[in-house]
Amino acid sequence: MTDFKKIEENLKKEAKRLLEAGEVAVVLAYAKGFDEKHPMPFAAKCVEDADHLVFNEYCTYNMARYLVRYPKGTKIAIAVKAADSRAVIQLIQEEKVKREDLILLGIPVKGMKNGKTGEEIDSKTTCGMYNPILHDILLGEEIHGQKITSPYDVLAEYEAMDQDARWTFWKNELDKCIRCYACRKACPMCYCDPCFIDQLKPKWADKAPQSPGNMMYHLTRFHHLAGRCIDCGECSRACPVDIPLYLFHKKVAKECEEMFNQAAGMRIEDKPVLVDFRVEDSDKILE
């Protein structure tokens, strides 16, 4: 089990050191919310702020979400768990942030919990990795020797459904959507300004929280995140009506991985799969 207290101490120590030395302008991590189960994303800008930093098993938020809000060239230190580090790599690939502007405080962690349900978060809803792929400073012990389950195992049940059943399932789920756009707000990859759903010319979809508009919004969002979703599961945790968005994102990620042999956010040198091509791509992928 991960020693959360030790990580918190290390986090405070490193944040203070970096802010004091002026190496970074801001440290993106977590602070205490209204109770232990609801920590909040927090940007520490001075040494005093660093005292407020916390880390516990409910600090699930993907802080990579906040990177794109700072002007280019801002020096930022960011606390990253496994999926978060993949998000950072993906943002570097998309040239939204520069590697040299970032200091990654890696947090190897097992046993994060969903603040809403109290359940442990595992490969069912996320990528299921424990160690950050990329880090400058490690705040805890790397986790080895754990059984790795494929993040795509959970899909088998839905892939086995017949088409009409799957359609009914998704229609029922997406009809619940109240269009609060929390999924978009929580997603580290959703940084378009304006988002296609906010555009009026052309008006891509209805804005009313009803079936046709919901379907259009979500299908298009799944498409926009194809080959970019790093499977942190934040969208489904942020969702107030509990739509299992992670399922669809996992499915698209799985297909992309099979078709293009590249998973999102694993290597800085890669290009996102949909802004890239190979002449030797097979036409079979269209069948």
Residues forming the site for another protein (CB under 8 A): 158-159, 163-171, 196, 204-205, 211-212, 215-216, 219-220, 222-223, 226-227, 248, 251-252, 255-256, 259-260, 273-279, 281, 283, 285-286
Which is closer to another protein, CB of 216 or CB of 266? 216
**What would the DSSP string read from start to end of 62-125?**
-GGGGGGGSPTT--EEEEE-HHHHHHHHHHHHTTSS-GGGEEEEE------B-TTT-PBP-TTT
Which is closer to another protein, CB of 70 or CB of 222? 222
* Tokens found for residue 255: 């297909």
CB of 40 to another protein, least distance (A): 34
Residue 133, SS3 per DSSP = coil
CB of 197 to another protein, least distance (A): 10
**What would the DSSP string read from start to end of 2-41?**
--HHHHHHHHHHHHHHHHHTTS-SEEEEEE--SSTT--EE
Which is closer to another protein, CB of 35 or CB of 280? 280
CB of 184 to another protein, least distance (A): 16
Whole-angstrom distance, CA of residue 245 vs CA of residue 183:
9
CB of 274 to another protein, least distance (A): 6
Q: Cα dihedral angle (14, 50, 54, 122), rounded to 10 degrees?
A: -50
CB of 94 to another protein, least distance (A): 16
Which is closer to another protein, CB of 103 or CB of 252? 252
Bridge-partner residues for 44, per DSSP? 27
Which is closer to another protein, CB of 129 or CB of 225? 225
Whole-angstrom distance, CA of residue 102 vs CA of residue 24:
8
CB of 286 to another protein, least distance (A): 5
Residue with tokens 């899909």: 155
Which is closer to another protein, CB of 171 or CB of 185? 171
